[in-house]
Structure 1
Amino acid sequence: MYLHGTSKINDKGHLEIGGCDVTDLAQQFGTPLYIVDEELVRQRAREYVEAFKASGFKFQVAYASKAFSVMAMCAIAEQEGLSLDVVSDGELHTALQAGFPVQRIHFHGNNKTPDEINMALDANIGCFVVDNFHELALLNALAGEKGKKVNILFRITPGVEAHTHDYISTGQQDSKFGFDLGNGSAKAAIGQALELPNLEILGLHSHIGSQIFEVEGFRMAVDKVADFAVSIREEFGLTFKVINLGGGFGIRYVEGDTPLPLGEYVAAITNAIKVKFNQADFPLPEIWVEPGRSMVGDAGTTLYTIGTSKDIPGVRKYVAVDGGMTDNPRPALYQSRYEAILANRANEAIEETVSIAGKCCESGDMLIWDLELPKSESGDLLAVFCTGAYNYAMASNYNRIRRPAVVFVKDGQADLVVKRESLHDIVVNDVIPARLQKSALAN
C-alpha cells in the first residue's frame, strides 16, 4: 500500500489524511467526496520554488489551473508565491474572484474568444500566450481599442513528442496548438508581431506533453527553442526575455510509475538552458514553467461508498460505488489507472480481486479493473488515490448526477471549499418555453 503526503492508517484501521479520519469526513460531508491534502500541495509548490531559487535564474512557477480550478486553490497558489495559468473566462473569473494578483495571471488557449480577450484586457493580466495568427491580429486590435500594450509569449510546437498518451501529447508537429517551428510559421508570426504596435514580445512557450517521467524530452525542447531564439535575434534583432517550458511533469498513480523528484526536472531544464544559451552568447532568459498535475494530483483522494456487487463465477466480480465517470472520467478517456483501499478497513487481509464500477448508465463506467481488496460490503468506504488533477476539473452531470463536494484537510481540520451540488443546482438553468408548459398544452 503506497500512501502519499500526510496519509496514513490510524489505530482504528481507518485512512487518515491531513490528520482527519476519512470515516468522519464521510459522515460530515457525504460521498462521493474529493479530499485534498493541503500540506502536500504546499510542499509541491515549495519544491518547485526552492529548486528554481537554487538555480540562480529569474523564474515564475505558474500553477496550471486547468488541473484543478477553485478559489481556494487560487488562494494557496498566491500564498506560495506562484503565478497562475488560465484557459477560459471561467478560470479567469475564478482567479479574479479569489483576488489573485492579476499581473501573475497568464492566459492560454487555442481559441480565445473576443469576449475572453476583452475580459483579460480589462483585468490587466500579466501575459497572453498567443497560439495562432488569428489571435495575434485580434489581440492587437482589441488592445488597441483600449489603448493598451500587452505582453505576449508565442506558443511554438518544437517537434518533440514526449512518451505519453496520444491524446495528451502536444509538442509534436501534428498538434492543434501553437506555431510550428518546422514549417516556418513560428518565424512568420514573430515577423508579423513586430509590426503590430500593441504587443510586447516577451518570449516563447513550449509544452511537450503530460505525465512525463524523464528529462530528455525537455532537453531536446530546450535545444530547439534556443536555436530558434538565436535565429530570431540574428534575423530580427529581437532578444527573448522569457522561455516557458510548460509542464507535464509526471506523478505516481500506480506501481510502476517512476516520476523523478521535482528538483531533477528543474535542474535538467535550467542546466540545459544555461549551457545552450551561453554557447550562443545569448543573455540568460527568465524561465517559466507550468506544473498542474504534479502540484495537486497525488494530493487528491476521492472517497466513495460501496453499494451493490455482482459476482460472475469464473469471470469477474463487480463492486459498484456511488460515483464514477461523472467525478472521474479519466479511465474512460485515457484508460488511466488508479490504486485504492477500503478506507474504513485498511488493515484487513486481502481476500478477493474485484473491479470497481461506477453508477452511470454506461458499460464503460469503470474506475478500476482487478483491484485486490478485503471482502467488501455495502456501506464500506473506498478511497481512490491521486485524484487531485483532472477529476473535479473534468467532472460532469451525466445522468444528472450531482458533482461532489471538495474539502481541504490540514492539521486535523477539514474545510469545505466546494459545496456538493444540490438537486436544485441540477435544474437551476433549465427553462421550459411557454409553448411546452402544461397550461399551453391543455389549450
Structure 2
Amino acid sequence: MQKLKYERPYIKKLNAGIMNKFGTRTDSQAFTHIDGVPVKSLIAEYGSPVFVLSEKQIRRNYRSAYRAFSTRYPKVQFAWSYKTNYLNAVCKIFHQEGSWAEVVSGFEYRKAIGNGVPGNKIIFNGPNKPKEDLLLAIENDSLIHIDHFEELTLLLKISENLTAKPRVAIRVNMDTGIYPSWDRFGFNYENGEAWNALTRIVNSGKLQLVGLHCHIGTYVLSTAAYAIAATKMADLAWSCKTQLKQTIEYLDLGGGFPSTNTLKGSYLPGADTVPSVDDFAEVITTTLLNSGLPKHDLPLLILETGRALIDDAGYLLGSVVANKRLGDGKRAMVVNFGVNILFTSFWYEHQISPAQDFTPHVENMTVYGPLCMNIDVVRESVNLPLLNPGDHVVVHKVGAYNMTQWMQFITQRPAIVLIDEQQQTHLIRTSETLNYVEEPETTPPHLIK
C-alpha cells in the first residue's frame, strides 16, 4: 500500500465573535441624531472626524450630582476638574452651574482666571507648583493644596515676606482597600507623615490651615473605599481641632467616580456594574454625619468630580475608510480617527454605533484607526454590521480626557462642536491646520534654500 504524503497540521483560529450569555449581537443601533441634530449634518458642516459635546447633558449631569450630595449633607461644593476637559466653553458651563475650579498646573490656573473664576474659588492641586505659580495663587487668595514637604518648605519661605497668611490644605493619601494604593501624591495617613505636615503648618504660624484633601484613585468602583477615606479624613479633622486647636473648614474628597464606560476586560457593561453618584453620595455623607464631628459645625464637603459629569456628554463622529480581512480571517474595519485623538480607547471598550441604517448581518471585527502604528486599535473585538467606505460612525462617552490628552500625531486634531440647549451648534475649537502645527517651528538659516 502506498504511503500517504505527510502534510503538516494547520490550526486556524475560529473567529466566532464574543461568546457570552447575551449571545452574539451588534453592540449598538443606528445613532442618527445628537440632541435632535442630525449626525450627517454635523459632519457635513464641521468635517470628519469631529468631537461633539452636549450642553444639555453636561448640565443635567451636574445638577443630578449636586442634588445627590446636597440633599444628604448641609454644605456641599463642587469644583470642576480642569484636567478632565479644560475647553473654556465646557468650564464656563460648570462655573455657570456654581462649580469652583480645581487645577493642577499653572497653565490650568491661568485658564481658570481667564474664565472669570474668583481666586478664592480656585483649588490649586498637583505636585509641581513653581514659585511664580504659588505667588500668583497667594495673590489671588486661592486654596493651595500642599503635596510634599519641599512644597511646604517653599511656601513657608515665601510667607516670611507676606502680611496675610496663605490659605492651605494638605493632600492625604491612605489605605482604603484599593490596590495598588494611590500613595504617590500627598502625605501618608498611616505612617504619620500627614500629621507631621499638619503640625508643622500650624506651629509655623505663617500659613492658615483651612482644609484637608484626598483623592483615592480613578474610576473607583468601590463605594466602601470612600467610607474608609471619609472616616480617616474626619478623624484627622477632629485631631486638628482637639490637639492643634485648628478648625478644619472643609474636607475635599476629590474625584474618582467612574463614568458608565466599560473598562477593557470587563464581562458586563459599565452601565450594569458602575455605582451611581447617589451610591457614592450616600456612603460619603452618611460616614461624615456619623463621624462624631459636631453637627452644628460640620466642614464644607468639596467634590472634584470629573469624568462622571462629562464622559457621556461627548461623542466622536467619524467615517469608515476601508474593510479588510486579516491573516487569520477576521474582519477588520479602518476608520479615519485613531488613538491619538481617542486616548481613552486604551482604557475603555467604547460603544460604536453606525450613523445610518444598516443591514441586519453582524460580524465580529477589529476597528483600526488610520495611523501607521500597530497600537492604533479603537476596538479589538466588537460586533458591528458591515459598513461601506464613506459610512459614518459615532463613538459614545468620550467627553473626559480625550480633549486634554490627545496629541497631534500623523493626523491633525479635529474640530470640537457644542450643541446648546436650544439645539444650536457652536464651533468651540477649530480643527488644526498645517500652519497651526508649524507655527512654533523655526528653521536654521543654512537649511533654508
**C-alpha distance 269-284 of structure 1, shift in aligned 2 (>3 A):** same
Q: 1:264 aligns with which of 255, 275, 279?
A: 279
Matched residue, 1:210: 218
Q: Is the 8 A contact 1:31 1:304 kept in 2?
A: yes
Once residues 328 and 69 of structure 1 are traced to their aligned partners in structure 2, the CA distance between those partners, rounded to angstroms, is 16
Once residues 149 and 418 of structure 1 are traced to their aligned partners in structure 2, the CA distance between those partners, rounded to angstroms, is 40
Once residues 361 and 33 of structure 2 are traced to their aligned partners in structure 1, the CA distance between those partners, rounded to angstroms, is 20
Give the Å deviation of 1:149.
2.4
Q: Is the 8 A contact 2:105 2:129 kept in 1?
A: yes
2:290 counterpart SS class: helix
> After the TM superposition, which of the residue ranges 360-369 and 304-313 deviates more from structure 2?
304-313
Once residues 433 and 114 of structure 1 are traced to their aligned partners in structure 2, the CA distance between those partners, rounded to angstroms, is 34
> After the TM superposition, which of the residue ranges 292-301 and 228-237 deviates more from structure 2?
228-237
Q: Answer with 1 or 2: which has the greater Rg.
A: 2
Matched residue, 2:254: 246
Please give the per-residue CA displacement for 1:303-326, whole angstroms capped at 9, x wherever unaligned: 111112321264422211112111
Aligned residues: 414
**C-alpha distance 361-115 of structure 1, shift in aligned 2 (>3 A):** farther
**C-alpha distance 199-415 of structure 1, shift in aligned 2 (>3 A):** same
Matched residue, 2:190: 182
Please give the per-residue CA displacement for 1:158-196, whole angstroms capped at 9, x wherever unaligned: 212437xx5xxxxx3x63200001111111111111133
1:160 counterpart SS class: coil
Once residues 315 and 101 of structure 1 are traced to their aligned partners in structure 2, the CA distance between those partners, rounded to angstroms, is 59
Q: How does 1:278-293 map to 2 (within 5 A)?
A: 278=293, 283-293=297-307
**C-alpha distance 316-17 of structure 1, shift in aligned 2 (>3 A):** same
The TM-score, its normalising length taken from structure 2, stands at 0.86
Please give the per-residue CA displacement for 1:243-278, whole angstroms capped at 9, x wherever unaligned: 111111111113522223322311221111000134
Matched residue, 2:150: 134
Once residues 336 and 386 of structure 2 are traced to their aligned partners in structure 1, the CA distance between those partners, rounded to angstroms, is 18
Q: Is the 8 A contact 1:329 1:395 kept in 2?
A: yes
2:404 counterpart SS class: coil
**C-alpha distance 367-14 of structure 1, shift in aligned 2 (>3 A):** closer
RMSD over equivalenced CA pairs, Å: 2.2
Q: Is the 8 A contact 1:14 1:23 kept in 2?
A: no
Percent identity among equivalent residues? 26
Give the Å deviation of 1:368.
0.9
Give the Å deviation of 1:146.
5.3
> After the TM superposition, which of the residue ranges 82-91 and 146-155 deviates more from structure 2?
146-155
Matched residue, 2:379: 368
Once residues 438 and 281 of structure 1 are traced to their aligned partners in structure 2, the CA distance between those partners, rounded to angstroms, is 73
Q: Is the 8 A contact 1:18 1:38 kept in 2?
A: no
Once residues 343 and 139 of structure 1 are traced to their aligned partners in structure 2, the CA distance between those partners, rounded to angstroms, is 54
Q: 1:323 aligns with which of 334, 337, 342?
A: 337
**C-alpha distance 143-18 of structure 1, shift in aligned 2 (>3 A):** farther
Matched residue, 1:162: 178
Matched residue, 2:118: 101
Once residues 84 and 117 of structure 1 are traced to their aligned partners in structure 2, the CA distance between those partners, rounded to angstroms, is 16
1:406 aligns with 2:416: yes
Please give the per-residue CA displacement for 1:354-410, whole angstroms capped at 9, x wherever unaligned: 2111122211111112121121111111211110001111001123x2112111113
Once residues 281 and 26 of structure 1 are traced to their aligned partners in structure 2, the CA distance between those partners, rounded to angstroms, is 54
Matched residue, 2:203: 195
1:398 counterpart SS class: coil
